[in-house]
Amino acid sequence: MTPAAVLCGIGSCLPARRVGNDELAGVLDTSDEWIRSRTGIGGRHWADPDTATSDLAVGAGRRALASCAPEDRPGVDAVVVATTTPDRSCPATAPLVAARLGLGPVAAYDVAAVCTGFVYALASASGLIAAGIAERVLVIGADTFSSILDPADRTTSVIFGDGAGAVVLRAGHPDEPGALGAFDLGSDGDGYDLITVRGGGSEQHLSAAAPEPGRAYFTMDGKAVFRHAVERMSRSSRTVLDRAGWELSGLDWMVGHQANRRILDRLADDLGVPRERSVGNIAEVGNTSAASIPLALDDARGAGLLKPGDRVLLTAFGGGLTWGSATLTWPGPDRFVS
């Protein structure tokens, strides 16, 4: 039997500083009413300048490891960090996170798929487990988008927040609660420019011949992206449910990437999933990119929404363009100690 990846630990970490809509309305031409009605966001957390993505990733990773039952705790043998805002462009952030968590000389690498990063990282970690390369993998989605936002751009500054979420996966049986089932991943590079940071890579060096100001900032064509997000997540969700042999009507929860409440509502309507079954925390944390799905999952667990054996659909969309979905049955009550 090919082992399945089974969720056995979860944790998250937010920077302390909460930035409410009114604070942004004090410095940008925007309002609490616009932000809430167009995005569903009431506030977000932004890291202080001396807090890096690895700090948030370590915080979430430590909590995820501590939440594992004692028999699941030892022997993480790989760390995968999904991020668009690594501490440095070279090397990856994951080796630093593994070292700071005291995990020893384990495999550690980053995955870059913007807001789809966590689902891509889950798929990669599941592959390590299925191939027998790893027994236990710590998967972290962590982003510090405040470090790449243009503070003068009201179309992006109001949307993104910082944070990290992490899960521990172990090798187990495909039929046991906690098992990740099917995956669907995709991309469309024709939409490469719709969500981007143009400067700082090999295409446009941040060197002596400095690029135009603003080229190091994140930009997004929100209107075009909105339509793609609904279409792609909807199609990917149907594909992954089909692969898992699950009916839409048998779904207990949908945890979509927290990009915009209106996108999540449209997605739920399109799939015929009752909106109250689409869990999320966008009102509290905004769009936290790769951290969004594990943060939402951890919040839903904290709120007692997820019951053992519940059928959960994860679906995400982001820059690249990229998208991805996965099915997960929620683990039994004895799995987590905190």
Residues labelled catalytic: 115, 257, 287
Tell me whether strands 136-144 and 4-13 are parallel, antiparallel or unpaired. Answer: unpaired
Cβ atoms of 328 and 253 within 8 Å: the answer is no
Q: Which of residues 262-281 bind ligand ACO (CB under 6 A)?
A: 263
Q: Which of residues 125-164 bind ligand ACO (CB under 6 A)?
A: 154-155, 158-159
Q: Which residue in 86, 161, 294, 319 binds ligand ACO (CB under 6 A)?
A: 319
Token match 């999933």: residue? 273
Task: Tell me how far apart the alpha carbons of residues 143 and 85 are, in angstroms, rounded to a whole number.
Answer: 6
Region of 74-82, 129-137, 219-227, 300-308 interacting with ligand ACO (CB under 6 A): 219-227
Query: What is the contact mask toward ligand ACO in residues 180 to 199, using x (rule: CB under 6 A)?
Result: ---------------x----
Query: What is the contact mask toward ligand ACO in residues 41 to 80, using x (rule: CB under 6 A)?
Result: ----------------------------------------
Tell me the angle at which helices 32-39 and 261-271 cross, rounded to the nearest 10 degrees.
Answer: 20
Region of 131-139, 162-170, 236-244, 312-320 interacting with ligand ACO (CB under 6 A): 312-320
Alpha helices in the chain (DSSP H): 21-25, 32-39, 53-67, 94-100, 117-130, 154-157, 222-244, 261-271, 282-285, 292-302
Q: Hey, how many other C-beta atoms are within 10 angstroms of the C-beta on 127?
A: 14
39 in contact with ligand ACO (CB under 6 A):
yes
Burial of 50 (0-12, 13-18, 19+ CB in 10 A): exposed
Q: Which residue in 102, 202, 203, 223 binds ligand ACO (CB under 6 A)?
A: 223
226 in contact with ligand ACO (CB under 6 A):
yes
Tell me whether strands 278-279 and 311-318 are parallel, antiparallel or unpaired. Answer: unpaired
Region of 47-55, 179-187, 217-225, 302-310 interacting with ligand ACO (CB under 6 A): 217-225
Q: Which residue in 54, 67, 278, 289 binds ligand ACO (CB under 6 A)?
A: 289
Cβ atoms of 152 and 297 within 8 Å: the answer is no
Task: Tell me how far apart the alpha carbons of residues 304 and 272 are, in angstroms, rounded to a whole number.
Answer: 24
Q: Which residue in 64, 94, 115, 264 binds ligand ACO (CB under 6 A)?
A: 115
| Residue 273: both structure tokens together | 């999933």
Region of 13-21, 64-72, 257-265, 306-314 interacting with ligand ACO (CB under 6 A): 257-265
Beta pairing partners, 276:
none
109 in contact with ligand ACO (CB under 6 A):
no
Applying CB under 6 A, the residues found at the interface with ligand ACO are 30, 34-35, 38-39, 114-115, 154-155, 158-159, 195, 222-223, 225-226, 229, 259-260, 263, 287, 289, 317-319
